[in-house]
């Protein structure tokens, strides 16, 4: 797939446009028909996983050298965006596969990459990311999960909370404290934990407002003994890896927000053309037209910011040191702006359908519920504003 040099900062390449068309067709044919049932039944979207794996779209970010498609950051965003347009829960398959595996890509040894990225690329496994804990959410540095060296192994104990796709994923990137005295400045390390490791178990699925098809569960680590070579990077580098990962993956949450907002806008546009009141389509009324114009304007602004951030992500990933790219700022800005816009757009879309929008007979109330989480996970938008303020370009 295209590299960073193949697309302009604000204009995707022809290859990206073709990818969008193909993913949209697949999503509408194979994922959309099950979106309502997935939400109503709060079940994992297996149909979406099967369709994405069959078309090599479940983890497009994995480099070609490990059997993946080698998609650039923008292409990955487009895949997530188009899946989220029809089913936000399903878009968490490619999004979280990137989140969970990116620490391995950024900091893992070649042996670790070969061992875990290959099965991910083939669709034989999924990856999740374990950073948050019951008492460590926005304050990720307050984590208590411990990893203690014992000969040629580490023994992990602790609880991770709000873990997306927990219980379904086979692999977990786990952040744990290896030196309590150093805290975030060299005291946290990253590890790959497997679902089948002795001592790994999961809590009951959370009963959520939205993204009900993506299981969110606690991960329990009870004397989990893993080989020392499953450490990602050197001891003490885990927190830096975690933060570098989020610089890149917050952009995928922005893409998810774009997708659900686009789906809501598309549905609302079709509705106002057909719904008649006072003898004409409600889309002919200026008040409705102004709402649609504002929705489209906010969405396009969010898309441009997200794609600009994706371009920066790709340039950093290709070997730049990040200086001059301001990736931390742009990743936070894209996630924050796009998710705020998605919440506004989906809410306005519900309003345009009136009473119908408030019922489960139409998809907009689901989209509005799904959009809310994009303002919360991978750092609340309040935290994003703190991040931006500290990294002003």
CA dist 97 and 99 (Å) reads: 6
- Beta strands (DSSP E) in 146-304 are 146-150, 153-164, 171-177, 188-194, 200-202, 216-227, 231-232, 276-277, 280-281
Crossing angle of helices 381-390 and 327-352, rounded to 10°:
150
Q: What are residue 43's phi and psi, to 5 degrees? A: -120, 155
Of 58, 11, 82, 384, the C-alpha closest to 258 is 82
Cα separations in angstroms, 178 against 112, 134, 143, 267 = 20, 19, 11, 50
DSSP annotation of 203 reads -
Q: Residue 293 class from Cβ within 10 Å (0-12 exposed, 13-18 middle, 19+ buried)?
A: exposed
- Cα–Cα distance measured from residue 101 to residue 232, given in angstroms and rounded to the nearest whole number: 10
Tokens of 163: 């873990």
What are the CB-based long-range contacts (under 8 Å, 24+) for 300-303? Answer: 301/337, 301/341, 302/254, 302/257, 302/258, 302/261, 302/334, 302/337, 302/338, 302/341, 302/342, 303/258, 303/338
Q: What is the phi-psi region of residue 189: left when phi exceeds 0, alpha when psi lies from -120 to 50, beta otherwise?
A: beta
**Rounded distance, CA 306 to CA 314, Å?**
12
Question: How many Cβ atoms sit within 10 Å of the Cβ of residue 288?
Answer: 18
Q: Give the catalytic positions in this structure.
A: 378
């Amino acid at each position: 797939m295209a590299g960073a040099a193949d697309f302009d900062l604000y204009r995707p390449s022809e290859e990206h446009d073709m990818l969008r068309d193909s993913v949209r067709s697949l999503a509408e044919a194979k994922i959309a028909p099950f979106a309502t049932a997935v939400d109503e039944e709060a079940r994992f979207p297996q149909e979406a996983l099967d369709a994405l794996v069959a078309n090599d779209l479940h983890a497009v970010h994995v480099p070609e050298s490990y059997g993946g498609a080698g998609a650039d950051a923008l292409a990955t965003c487009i895949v997530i965006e188009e899946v989220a347009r029809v089913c936000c829960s399903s878009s968490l398959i490619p999004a979280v596969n990137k989140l969970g595996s990116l620490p391995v890509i950024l900091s893992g040894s070649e042996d670790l990459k070969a061992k875990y990225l290959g099965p991910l690329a083939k669709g034989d496994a999924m990856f999740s990311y374990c950073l948050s804990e019951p008492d460590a959410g926005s304050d990720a540095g307050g984590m208590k999960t411990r990893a203690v060296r014992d000969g040629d192994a580490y023994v992990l104990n602790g609880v991770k909370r709000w873990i997306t796709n927990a219980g379904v994923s086979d692999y977990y990137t786990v952040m744990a404290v290896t030196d309590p005295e150093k805290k975030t400045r060299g005291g946290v390390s990253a590890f790959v934990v497997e679902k089948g490791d002795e001592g790994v178990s999961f809590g009951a699925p959370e009963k959520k407002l939205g993204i009900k098809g993506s299981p969110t569960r606690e991960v329990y680590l009870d004397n989990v003994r893993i080989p020392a070579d499953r450490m990602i990077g050197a001891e003490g580098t885990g927190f830096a890896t975690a933060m570098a990962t989020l610089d890149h993956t917050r952009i995928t949450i922005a893409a998810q927000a774009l997708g659900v907002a686009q789906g809501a806008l598309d549905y609302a546009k079709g509705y106002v053309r057909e719904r008649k009141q006072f003898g004409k389509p409600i889309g002919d009324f200026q008040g409705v037209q102004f709402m649609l114009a504002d929705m489209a304007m906010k969405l396009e602004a969010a898309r441009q910011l997200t794609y600009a951030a994706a371009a920066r992500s790709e340039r950093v990933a290709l070997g730049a040191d990040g200086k001059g790219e301001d990736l931390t700022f742009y990743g936070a800005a894209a996630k924050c702006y796009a998710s705020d816009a998605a919440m506004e757009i989906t809410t306005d879309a519900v309003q345009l359908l009136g009473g119908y929008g408030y019922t489960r007979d139409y998809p907009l109330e689901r989209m509005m519920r799904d959009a809310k989480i994009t303002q919360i996970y991978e750092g609340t938008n309040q935290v994003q504003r703190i991040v931006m303020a500290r990294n002003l370009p």
